[in-house]
Amino acid sequence: TGGCNSQTGRVASSVFFYFVCASDVCMTFLPCYCIFVCTDLLPASGGEKVTKEFLHELLNILLGYICKSSRRSGKVLDFHHPHQLKEGLEGFSLQLTDKPETLEQILVDCRDTLKYGVNTGHPRFFNQLSSGLDLIGLAGEWLTSTANSNMFTYEVSPVFILMEEVLLKKMQGIVGWSDDEGDGIFCPGGTISNLYSILVARYYFYPEVKTRGMRALPQLAIFTSEHSHYSVKKSAAVLGMGSENVLMVKCDESGKMIPVELESSIVAAEERGLVPFYVNATAGTTVYGAFDPFNDIADICHGHNLWMHVDAAWGGGLLMSDRHRMKLQGIERAWSVTWNPHKMMGVPLQCSVILIKKRGLLQDCNELGAEYLFQRDKPYDVSYDTGDKSIQCGRHVDVFKFWLMWKAKGSEGFGSQVNKCLENAEYLYDQLQRRTGFELVFKNKPEHSNVCFWYIPPTMRGLPPGPDRDTRLHQVAPRIKHRMMEQGSVLIGYQPLGDKVNFFRCVFSNPATQQEDVDFLLDEITRLGNDL
Amino acid sequence: TGGCNSQTGRVASSVFFYFVCASDVCMTFLPCYCIFVCTDLLPASGGEKVTKEFLHELLNILLGYICKSSRRSGKVLDFHHPHQLKEGLEGFSLQLTDKPETLEQILVDCRDTLKYGVNTGHPRFFNQLSSGLDLIGLAGEWLTSTANSNMFTYEVSPVFILMEEVLLKKMQGIVGWSDDEGDGIFCPGGTISNLYSILVARYYFYPEVKTRGMRALPQLAIFTSEHSHYSVKKSAAVLGMGSENVLMVKCDESGKMIPVELESSIVAAEERGLVPFYVNATAGTTVYGAFDPFNDIADICHGHNLWMHVDAAWGGGLLMSDRHRMKLQGIERAWSVTWNPHKMMGVPLQCSVILIKKRGLLQDCNELGAEYLFQRDKPYDVSYDTGDKSIQCGRHVDVFKFWLMWKAKGSEGFGSQVNKCLENAEYLYDQLQRRTGFELVFKNKPEHSNVCFWYIPPTMRGLPPGPDRDTRLHQVAPRIKHRMMEQGSVLIGYQPLGDKVNFFRCVFSNPATQQEDVDFLLDEITRLGNDL
């Protein structure tokens, strides 16, 4: 079926072949996709050949993208406005029709989709807490989608269900829980993980809520810091608890919750007739990367008999590093922990975990025992049918890529990766102090890989602090970002926070990033903002 | 870098190569993975070569699995008990260590993971509503994980955000809504879709619930049929409404909600002081595949000013077929619709949608406006930053595989696929009536692809109806299923329902399934159950 090094060929089936694969690894001959359509692929009878060739060609497209992504010479993005993409750039049409396209067109669509997307694996993409492209994780995702299974029962996902158990136990041990405590589940993102923690905490104190609802309960109150993630408020709204019953506790200047403020908030809430039951502490806040003082918070929770949750969606990864894990001291006293391996550990999206210390609560809180899924008369140990622990029914397999990465790196590999990201943050912190025109948002060395700073253009450097300067400074980051997006050379986020006007937040979670990329970022900000 | 047809080789880097790829398409030379580890892959400097070879070898493993999956001679599963897999079968260890494994071992782990899993793409896997392995969908998933992006903003996912808009509009049009109505979002599974519908309905009638919680509201009541999915109750529990405030409406013998029963349930609830606000109707119930009478239900909802939701997670796919879409007549009158393309349309897991008729509600209900993500001072139309519509923060890209499949099949291709699955169901229904020893659970021709039946072993065929026969019959399906799992030849689900003892439910959603597979299923049940 075709040999090497010839440019054209003809086979018995009289399909024309031509040479399209330029990879230096794989020299193949591909059918003329202009005549094949999806119904020629498996399960079509005799579809093996077209299937293999189609997927090989797809692999070449993906490999081309992967290789380009890791090159600094390539762009991070090629920005177009929504109306431009909708009009159909260079023949790339998003519209869907009644008639099928050929496989050739499908491959072109794949190329175009990648072309107009954002290269989140580029070493100069600093825009989000999740970045990079781990190739073992990617291999895991490809296998997961090939297996196309679902996490509800052992019956359909025996291997993945056991891998989930292995990883949850591993993570519980790393948090510091003993062998006879700990439960959990993989779920679709950190917000849902945090929602689980409030849901389970509410059930723990008031199990009647499951059948009777919130009207059977007193008015509950939740405590979280003003720097914490908005998912606490969002969850309270979803759970019918009301976002105004989430009380925001003051932070110190580096973004850590102030324990005496927590204590006084609790007392004040009780005086207003609310019933405190849950405190969210954060390990790695979204903007500053701050770690709350967990032991102090645990003492207060213990004193008031409150559920203590730690949102370590972003900071959990630091538990993998011997150098940094002491920043999470006291997390072992939490009753639940959110931890997103898809952030600091570089696992492909999506991979998020909720850990619950007390076993059985998750099941009791959520189970409804649907008999078409969770029959008790199965021929195996049905405690492995973990689907009824979940608020979902079908649940995507998010565990395999993580398991495979752990196999490939070992715990130590994750530790080195985290250390490297934090070294980049320290390097940026040092550079910001050395270079002209940059100002740190908070003075202390960052605890996580978040570094927050302003760029002050030359014309603003002499201005006295005050509302006029603030108004001008507020516009600097958005304008630079706008130019950055147009140039596509680098991408970084910005936001205001409290009384602070728009500032840049740089985060490192991609082990591909080197010091030269940090230098490039600062050079580029200077170049793009110099005339503002 | 290696030529064709030689068995060994040596290159400048003095890495040994050997021939491992037996595919008839791609003849490649692969490095000796026993010396390479994950840090040799990209982004390692010079890692392109190892990366390409590693992913090519992975592709060969996945292709081997895909080809085997579609062959009837292969097993559906190779069952092992949890303790067997945990002990480490044939060296396949699930345990994780501190040290890294080689890439060679990683590839072996990939092979083993597939080997001990369940082959959900096999033409004789009838166990779940989702089955099959669509290769275009698979290609879409591989690209999605390579792009490794997130749905929160246009900034990071321009193409995927626009594809979501295109698909939501398409689906709204197919449901029957006009161009100036319709909103929605892709979310992680049908249960979450149904949860969204209740959440948004509650907000529509009582917007104060978002800030003040359920205690500020009267005691609300939800109505759904006794055959509907358990997610309605689960959502009520999560949302703080209480599962006992979900009132179950009686169905007729084919599993359809009886409208007069709905009317009287509403009146009875009001008399008890509850406030009805939401009715869930089902298009394709989980077990029977029944369609509720949507127009009658819509009339009742209109009369009482209730939110009408249609859970078309399973039945929505029939809208794609000119032959079957009339079974969903009246769905256009719903205020929200759940539709899972990952079920009847064969999209790889996970792909689920909630559609909301009234625009803006989803955003108003869920937005919290986190400034680090949803800045208003961006250089593009920020109405495309759809992430604040979601109850998630990060959100997996579930749309691309679906978009790509639509391109490849056209609307017509989905229609043919649905027709074929329903033809298989009709064939099974006919065969059950012709063969000895089978009994239908309900007499009418199935409306969806669900076919429910008992197998009556020869020794039971003369028994009179009654508790003794029921007790024995209840054990037949589990025993046959047990043997099926051990043999691995075919997989089908069973459950009791109401006063009916355990029966088989066969569902068809895999277009790979042919009439010969239906025959095989019945032969196999007879063979395995003959001596019971």
The answer to whether residue B478 scores a pLDDT higher than 80 is yes
Distance CA B348, CA B126 (A): 16
Strand partners, B184: B355
A267-283: per-residue pLDDT in tens?
999 999 999 999 999 99
Distance CA B131, CA B467 (A): 36
Task: Identify the three-state secondary structure at position B491.
Answer: strand
Top-confidence residue, A31 or B280: B280
Position A493: which residue type? G
Task: Return the pLDDT at A336.
Answer: 98
Distance CA A191, CA B418 (A): 36
Task: Return the pLDDT at A30.
Answer: 52
B contacts of A170 (beta carbons < 8 Å)? 96
| Burial of residue A271, with CB atoms counted within 10 A of its CB: 0-12 exposed, 13-18 middle, 19 or more buried | exposed
Pick out chain A residues at pLDDT < 50. Answer: 1-29
Contact of B312 with chain A, judged by CB distance below 8 Å, is answered with: no
Chain A's closest residue to B389, CA to CA, is A234
Contact of A101 with chain B, judged by CB distance below 8 Å, is answered with: yes
Contact of B118 with chain A, judged by CB distance below 8 Å, is answered with: yes
What mean pLDDT, rounded, does chain B reach?
A: 93
- The answer to which of A256-265, B81-90, B107-116 has the lowest mean pLDDT is B81-90
Using the beta-carbon criterion (under 8 Å), do B395 and A188 form an inter-chain contact?
yes
CB A338 within 8 A of CB A312: yes
Classify residue B345 by its DSSP letter: T
Residue A100: CA count within 13 A, CB half-sphere? 19
Contact of B351 with chain A, judged by CB distance below 8 Å, is answered with: no
Nearest to B454 by CA among B433, B437, B467: B437
Top-confidence residue, B350 or B25: B350
CB A409 within 8 A of CB B38: yes
B contacts of A511 (beta carbons < 8 Å)? 43
Position A101: which residue type? E
CB-defined contacts A:B, below 8 A: 541
Residue positions counted in chain A:
532
Task: Identify the three-state secondary structure at position B431.
Answer: helix
The answer to whether residue B76 scores a pLDDT higher than 60 is yes
Task: Return the pLDDT at B370.
Answer: 83
Percent of chain B at pLDDT exceeding 70? 94
Distance CA B507, CA B504 (A): 10
B139-189: per-residue pLDDT in tens?
999 999 999 999 989 999 999 999 999 999 999 999 999 999 999 999 999
Distance CA B327, CA B445 (A): 13
Structure tokens at B403: 């978009």
Task: Return the pLDDT at B90.
Answer: 86
Distance CA A190, CA B152 (A): 13
Domains of chain A from N-terminus onward: 8-119 (3.90.1150.170), 150-398 (3.40.640.10), 407-529 (3.90.1150.170)
Structure tokens at A112: 């175009």
Residue of A1, A114, A162, A393 to mutate for B, most B C-beta atoms under 10 A:
A393
Average pLDDT of the residues in B428-443: 97
Residue B511: CA count within 13 A, CB half-sphere? 23
Distance CA A126, CA A128 (A): 6
The answer to whether residue B516 scores a pLDDT higher than 60 is yes
Contact of B409 with chain A, judged by CB distance below 8 Å, is answered with: yes
Using the beta-carbon criterion (under 8 Å), do A139 and B43 form an inter-chain contact?
no
A contacts of B41 (beta carbons < 8 Å)? 135-136
Kind of pairing between the strands at B183-187 and A307-311: unpaired
Structure tokens at A77: 């993005």
| Burial of residue A302, with CB atoms counted within 10 A of its CB: 0-12 exposed, 13-18 middle, 19 or more buried | exposed
Task: Return the pLDDT at A33.
Answer: 60
A contacts of B475 (beta carbons < 8 Å)? 377
CB B185 within 8 A of CB B390: yes
Query: Token pair 């197919």 is at which residue?
Result: B174
The answer to whether residue B117 scores a pLDDT higher than 70 is yes
The answer to whether residue B19 scores a pLDDT higher than 50 is no
Q: How confident is the model at residue B372 (pLDDT cuts 50, 70, 90)?
A: confident
Q: Measured between CB atoms, which of B117, B244, B352 is closest to A147?
A: B117
Task: Return the pLDDT at A158.
Answer: 97
